[in-house]
Chains A and B, each alone.
Chain A
Amino acid sequence: MIAELGLAALWLAFALCVLQLGAAIAGGREQGAVLAAIVRPAAIVQGLLCGIAFLMLLWVFAITDLSVGLVAANSHSAKPMIFKLAGAWGNHEGSMLLWVTVMALAGALIAGLERRLPENMMRATLGAQSFVALGFYAFLIFSSNPFARLAQPAPEGAGLNPLLQDIGLALHPPVLYFGYVGLSVAFSFAVGALLTRQVNPDFARVTRPWVLAAWICLTLGITAGSYWAYYELGWGGWWFWDPVENASLMPWLAATALLHSIGVLAARDALRAWTILLGVIAFSMSMLGTFLVRSGILTSVHAFAVDPERGAFILFLLGVYIGGALLLFGLRAGAVAEGERFAATSKEGALVFNNVMLCAILGIVLLGTLYPLLTEAFDVRVSVGPDYFNPVSAIFVVPMLIVMAIGPLLRWRRDSLERIARPAALLTAVALVVLGFVALLFEVSFLALLGLALSAALALASFMPLRGRRLARVPMSVWGMVVAHFGIAVALFGMASESAFTVERLAAVEAGATTSVGPWQVRLDSVEPVAGPNWTALEARLSARTSERGAPTVLTPQSRNFWAPSQATTESALATRWNGQLYAVIGNQTDDGRWQLRLWWKPFVTFIWYGGILVALGGGLAIAGRVRSDLRRRIVGRRMAERRADEAHLEEAAA
């Protein structure tokens, strides 16, 4: 019954989506003008229905209804509740339903709240949103129905992939999806603006909070995903340039570029066509990522539902939506009047430069990700790894970071480099001192060295826009920029430090023996079997200490065996200090009874994720600032209107 309710809600939402699209198209013509009024309500009800469908899916997972195929294939009655719920989106069908739900809810929100844009543009935007959603509804209902029943209920579920039975990963996909799909709003606004030929600062101001919100989710999602890969896979690395990781990085790069160019459009009415193109590209990258991941066209360490037929369906949607939007762009962008002009040395100039750099990095990641696809067409199998991505992207990252340090110090429209000569000289000096200091004292690779120097300069530079201002009066959005840029410096420091100073130790030790890694002395106390709710494990007890005094830190890495489904995972153990992490993995027992221990000391590695969180926090501050000023403007506007009305009344009374 519950599953049927969910399916019914989904069908109704699908029908409303068709209605919304039809009304949006008809509403533009004279004879259909009455239909225009139902576009917004249709979007809102559609969002509610989708929400209900998703709740129903959560419900069947919560009660482990094994007559539903999806539950039988992905859940198990012995699983803890949180992972039962996470099972709802930890599979192809459920995650596509989540995709559609987020999209419908976003559509409902803009339909319900957004009143600043001209009505014809809103109609075009909501029409575009429903057009995109329509394809995903069709995909869901006709090829990936999450509510399909089994002819015979299964006796027991097959379980959720044990790697995914982790709280970080339970939350990582939904957050990332909010980001992916949030960008669909920017896409729809861009299409709406092109259709109604209204690419202007108002469009930018309305779109910006959506881009910001999606970008925050993407930032958090990528940060969490990277941390998950770091401690769950037990390989000690935090980024692998895997196609699935790249699929989440590419929308982030495009959204970052979009965020900055939309700021220029809002403030200065420049970069019109460019901003529109980025709006299209950002969501295109989300869809492209989904296609690459879901079609299995690229081999990845992430084993998702791989199905060429579904791949063909998503590719078809991709062709219609991205192809359509780019065609529209080609036809209409020429008619978009050129925006305001500006000098190369100006805040706009710096933003444009970094936009180009971000797009170049995006191009490099895209090329690296798709390259195996290209060569396989000629029967050559290659895998593109860090040897390509790291140095090639660095070519563009380094100039971008330099411009990112000085760009915020420049003025809008026109500025001179002489005016910022002193802060620029100070930043250069800081970078050079760090460079020299590290190069003399340590033996580190060139890229890591450069990273350390740039992170120091950038950390200082990120606070420079506050110089000479009354801190209490600095707008919240400027604080947002400061925090986000500082977060980039912090993350960069973590990355450079991890690559420069990590110490690795692989040792076979017997119980009671001690080994050392970096500043740590690590003693293997014992190895004991332990049991969890749906797994058994061998657990090592390690006492780690950095000095003779004080109590040792106890670490308990495990080698875990899940029995539903049967799979072994390594549970690494971490000891976090302010200046880094000790990372321990227990391996196999050797023939003579000793245990393989893998230890890493990774100085300041945690800064990578602290940085990511700071970047997202910066985005949060910016969004809060924008919303606050919007509300204030709205309140002032209402008061003005009231006063005008009162005055009119008084005049009427006087007359």
Chain B
Amino acid sequence: MNRWKLFVPLALFALFLGLAMYQLSQPKDERIESAMIGKPLPQFALPPAVAGVDGVSSTDFGDGKPRLLNIWASWCLPCIAEAPQLDALENAGAEIVGIAIRDKPEDVAAFLERHGNPYARIGSDDLSEVQLSIGSSGVPETFVIDGDGIIRYQHIGDIRERDVPILLEQLRLAE
């Protein structure tokens, strides 16, 4: 038997080791981007998440006005962190539509009481069905929906101060 053949297993293993080392050194990107960007909003109709604020349906979009669609929940801590930025966006003239994920009306009411209500409408998505159908895999996420009801832009994670102008710019582009 050729002696070098005995080193084939070692060579294969070295290959794996190199690959694994390279991959471990790479920052792991856990963000899942929506495959729905550039496509129209799917059909849906969600009941109100809290008394006094209307529910959300897909027909609310596509009337020529671009809007922000914010996926959030009262139980989500980063959502508290982004509440001031949502207020800033609203003050800058953006219309924000909320979808509350797996939430209870009394919790939603308490959250709005405490952190303010930037939302024009809030729908209740108890089973994450609408969330999944627009390609969102977590809370909070914010989508820009253009005047024709097409999903244009996705922001994953909480909105920081530096993200506000970006979102406003995306809204302007979506007109």
Q: Which residues does A use to contact B, with CB under 8 Å?
A: 273, 277, 280-281, 284, 291, 295-297, 308, 311-312, 315, 318-319, 322-323, 326-327, 329-330, 333-334, 370, 373-374, 376-377, 588
Q: Does B114 touch A at the CB level, under 8 Å?
A: no
8 closest A-B pairs by CB: A326-B10, A330-B7, A330-B6, A334-B3, A333-B6, A326-B9, A319-B17, A330-B10
In the bound assembly, the distance between CA atoms of A116 and B148 in angstroms comes to 82
Task: Please determine whether A297 and B14 come into contact, CB atoms closer than 8 angstroms.
Answer: no
From A291, A308, A312, A323, B14 is in contact (CB under 8 Å) with A323
| Known contacts A326-B9, A334-B1, A334-B6; A295 and B24 CB within 8 A of each other | yes
- Tell me the chain B residues, 1-56 only, with Cβ under 8 Å from chain A: 1, 3, 6-7, 9-10, 13-14, 16-17, 19-24, 26, 28
Residues of B contacting A373 in the complex (Cβ-Cβ under 8 angstroms): 19-20, 23
- Which residue from chain B places its CB closest to the CB of A312 in the assembled complex? B24
| Known contacts A295-B24, A296-B28; A377 and B9 CB within 8 A of each other | no
From A280, A297, A315, B17 is in contact (CB under 8 Å) with A315
Residues of A contacting B127 in the complex (Cβ-Cβ under 8 angstroms): 588
Question: What 0/1 readout, one digit per residue, does chain B (87-118) give for beta carbons within 8 Å of chain A?
Answer: 00000000000000000000000000000000
Residues of A contacting B1 in the complex (Cβ-Cβ under 8 angstroms): 273, 334
Would you give the shortest CB distance from A247 to chain B, in whole angstroms?
14
Would you give the shortest CB distance from B15 to chain A, in whole angstroms?
10
Would you give the shortest CB distance from B26 to chain A, in whole angstroms?
8
Would you give the shortest CB distance from B57 to chain A, in whole angstroms?
14
Known contacts A330-B3, A334-B3, then 17 further A-B pairs from the complex at CB < 8 Å, ordered by chain A residue: A308-B24, A311-B24, A312-B24, A315-B17, A315-B20, A315-B21, A318-B17, A322-B13, A323-B10, A323-B13, A327-B10, A330-B9, A330-B10, A334-B6, A373-B19, A373-B20, A376-B23
Residues of B contacting A588 in the complex (Cβ-Cβ under 8 angstroms): 127
Residues of B contacting A327 in the complex (Cβ-Cβ under 8 angstroms): 10
Interface pairs (27), CB distance under 8 Å:
A273-B1, A273-B6, A277-B9, A280-B9, A284-B13, A295-B24, A296-B28, A297-B23, A308-B24, A315-B20, A315-B21, A315-B24, A318-B17, A319-B17, A322-B13, A323-B17, A326-B7, A329-B6, A329-B9, A329-B10, A330-B10, A334-B1, A334-B6, A373-B20, A376-B23, A376-B26, A588-B127
Residues of A contacting B14 in the complex (Cβ-Cβ under 8 angstroms): 323
In the bound assembly, the distance between CA atoms of A322 and B9 in angstroms comes to 10
Residues of B contacting A323 in the complex (Cβ-Cβ under 8 angstroms): 10, 13-14, 17
Residues of A contacting B19 in the complex (Cβ-Cβ under 8 angstroms): 370, 373-374, 377
In the bound assembly, the distance between CA atoms of A410 and B51 in angstroms comes to 79
Would you give the shortest CB distance from B20 to chain A, in whole angstroms?
6
Would you give the shortest CB distance from B28 to chain A, in whole angstroms?
7
Residues of B contacting A329 in the complex (Cβ-Cβ under 8 angstroms): 6, 9-10
Q: How many residue pairs between the two chains, A and B, have CB atoms under 8 Å in the bound complex?
A: 57
Would you give the shortest CB distance from B113 to chain A, in whole angstroms?
23
- Which residue from chain B places its CB closest to the CB of A308 in the assembled complex? B24
Task: Tell me if B's interface is mostly helix, strand, loop or mixed.
Answer: helix
Residue from A319, A322, A330 whose CB has the most chain B CB atoms within 10 Å = A330
- Which residue from chain B places its CB closest to the CB of A319 in the assembled complex? B17
- Which residue from chain A places its CB closest to the CB of B126 in the assembled complex? A588
- Which residue from chain B places its CB closest to the CB of A568 in the assembled complex? B102
Residues of B contacting A326 in the complex (Cβ-Cβ under 8 angstroms): 7, 9-10, 13
In the bound assembly, the distance between CA atoms of A373 and B22 in angstroms comes to 10
Would you give the shortest CB distance from A318 to chain B, in whole angstroms?
7
Would you give the shortest CB distance from B125 to chain A, in whole angstroms?
13
Residues of B contacting A330 in the complex (Cβ-Cβ under 8 angstroms): 3, 6-7, 9-10
From B7, B23, B28, A377 is in contact (CB under 8 Å) with B23
Residues of A contacting B16 in the complex (Cβ-Cβ under 8 angstroms): 370
In the bound assembly, the distance between CA atoms of A280 and B10 in angstroms comes to 11
Would you give the shortest CB distance from A516 to chain B, in whole angstroms?
27
Residue from A295, A312, A334 whose CB has the most chain B CB atoms within 10 Å = A334
Residues of B contacting A370 in the complex (Cβ-Cβ under 8 angstroms): 16, 19
In the bound assembly, the distance between CA atoms of A322 and B10 in angstroms comes to 8
Residues of A contacting B7 in the complex (Cβ-Cβ under 8 angstroms): 326, 330
Would you give the shortest CB distance from B108 to chain A, in whole angstroms?
17
Residues of B contacting A315 in the complex (Cβ-Cβ under 8 angstroms): 17, 20-21, 24
Residues of B contacting A319 in the complex (Cβ-Cβ under 8 angstroms): 17
Would you give the shortest CB distance from B141 to chain A, in whole angstroms?
19
In the bound assembly, the distance between CA atoms of A329 and B14 in angstroms comes to 14
Task: Please determine whether B9 and A281 come into contact, CB atoms closer than 8 angstroms.
Answer: yes
Residues of B contacting A273 in the complex (Cβ-Cβ under 8 angstroms): 1, 6
From B20, B22, B26, A291 is in contact (CB under 8 Å) with B20
Residues of B contacting A297 in the complex (Cβ-Cβ under 8 angstroms): 20, 23-24
- Which residue from chain B places its CB closest to the CB of A299 in the assembled complex? B30
| Known contacts A296-B28, A308-B28, A334-B1; A377 and B22 CB within 8 A of each other | yes
Residues of A contacting B3 in the complex (Cβ-Cβ under 8 angstroms): 330, 334
In the bound assembly, the distance between CA atoms of A631 and B20 in angstroms comes to 46
- Which residue from chain B places its CB closest to the CB of A296 in the assembled complex? B28
Residues of B contacting A334 in the complex (Cβ-Cβ under 8 angstroms): 1, 3, 6
In the bound assembly, the distance between CA atoms of A370 and B12 in angstroms comes to 13
Residues of B contacting A311 in the complex (Cβ-Cβ under 8 angstroms): 24
- Which residue from chain A places its CB closest to the CB of B47 in the assembled complex? A591
Residues of B contacting A281 in the complex (Cβ-Cβ under 8 angstroms): 9
Question: What 0/1 readout, one digit per residue, does chain B (66-85) give for beta carbons within 8 Å of chain A?
Answer: 00000000000000000000
In the bound assembly, the distance between CA atoms of A7 and B48 in angstroms comes to 55
- Which residue from chain B places its CB closest to the CB of A333 in the assembled complex? B6
In the bound assembly, the distance between CA atoms of A295 and B16 in angstroms comes to 15
In the bound assembly, the distance between CA atoms of A430 and B22 in angstroms comes to 52
In the bound assembly, the distance between CA atoms of A308 and B26 in angstroms comes to 10
In the bound assembly, the distance between CA atoms of A333 and B7 in angstroms comes to 10
Would you give the shortest CB distance from B138 to chain A, in whole angstroms?
14
Residues of B contacting A318 in the complex (Cβ-Cβ under 8 angstroms): 17
- Which residue from chain A places its CB closest to the CB of B2 in the assembled complex? A334
Would you give the shortest CB distance from A375 to chain B, in whole angstroms?
11
Residues of A contacting B22 in the complex (Cβ-Cβ under 8 angstroms): 377
Residues of A contacting B26 in the complex (Cβ-Cβ under 8 angstroms): 376
Would you give the shortest CB distance from A536 to chain B, in whole angstroms?
15
Residue from B24, B28, B127 whose CB has the most chain A CB atoms within 10 Å = B24
Residue from B9, B22, B28 whose CB has the most chain A CB atoms within 10 Å = B9
- Which residue from chain A places its CB closest to the CB of B129 in the assembled complex? A588
Residue from A280, A312, A326, A374 whose CB has the most chain B CB atoms within 10 Å = A326
- Which residue from chain B places its CB closest to the CB of A324 in the assembled complex? B10
In the bound assembly, the distance between CA atoms of A330 and B13 in angstroms comes to 13
Residue from B1, B19, B20, B24 whose CB has the most chain A CB atoms within 10 Å = B20
